Amino acid sequence: MSYLLMRVVVGAIGLLLPWVMLISGWLLGQATQPSISGYYYTPMRNVFVGALWALAFFLIAYNGYDWPDRLITNLAGACALGISLFPTTPLGPYTSQQFAIGMVHLAFAGITFVLLGVMALRFASREQTPSGLPFGGRCKYALGFTGPGSSSTPNWELVTYRVSGFLIIGCVALCFPLSLVSQYWLLPLETIVLLAFGSSWFVKGRKILSAD
């Protein structure tokens, strides 16, 4: 499978997962869950877990631009597996073991989302990091804020990557404070994260759509 098609598949999983969970849960007569992970405890469990495993497979198999890209996607893929293997804490009465597993789930989810946000920013890279830059300059390049190089990437595409990356990281930062207000804040925040993540990957692989 080409890397362009892999990007499209990864993007499609991110774009479709929240809507599949919400709409299918509604059709099956399930109450709206406080988070997408909460659908693990509904008849949509196998779809949820299957999507995570598919996402993990594509992220780990993805051959990025350089070794930082590969490290980020490999770690994100491994953490996506962790999300499925350590389910979120269920609603209602739960044991201390279920709570501990739920905390591990949150850690894996947080790491995955932050890495995907960083990857979205890195999609905006247009040239290799020059040698001799100070630490701050290297960090700037590492997050995709590079010079124009020889890239012909349109501005709207760069804006998509940067907005997606900052949206993801911003939503992750808001998860804890807003969860103290209401546990149902997690669902819209996770939905925004997945849509932003899916959009960045789908746009990055868009050339496959116009291939002969």
CB 174 within 8 A of CB 189: yes
- Distance in angstroms (rounded) separating the CA atoms of residues 164 and 160: 6
The pLDDT tens digits of the residues spanning 15-28 come to 889 999 999 988 98
Give the pLDDT of residue 211: 47
Evaluate if residue 208 carries a pLDDT over 60. Answer: no
The pLDDT tens digits of the residues spanning 72-84 come to 999 999 999 999 9
Residue with tokens 């099956």: 28
Confidence of residue 41 (pLDDT cuts 50, 70, 90): very high
Q: Where in the chain are the domains? A: 3-207
Give the pLDDT of residue 212: 41
Kindly state the average pLDDT of the residues 163-179.
92
The model's pTM is 0.84
The pLDDT tens digits of the residues spanning 81-135 come to 999 999 999 987 889 999 999 999 999 999 999 999 999 998 888 777 777 778 7
Torsion of CA 134, 140, 141, 145, to 10 degrees: -140
Give me the helix-helix angle, 3-27 and 186-204, nearest 10°. Answer: 150
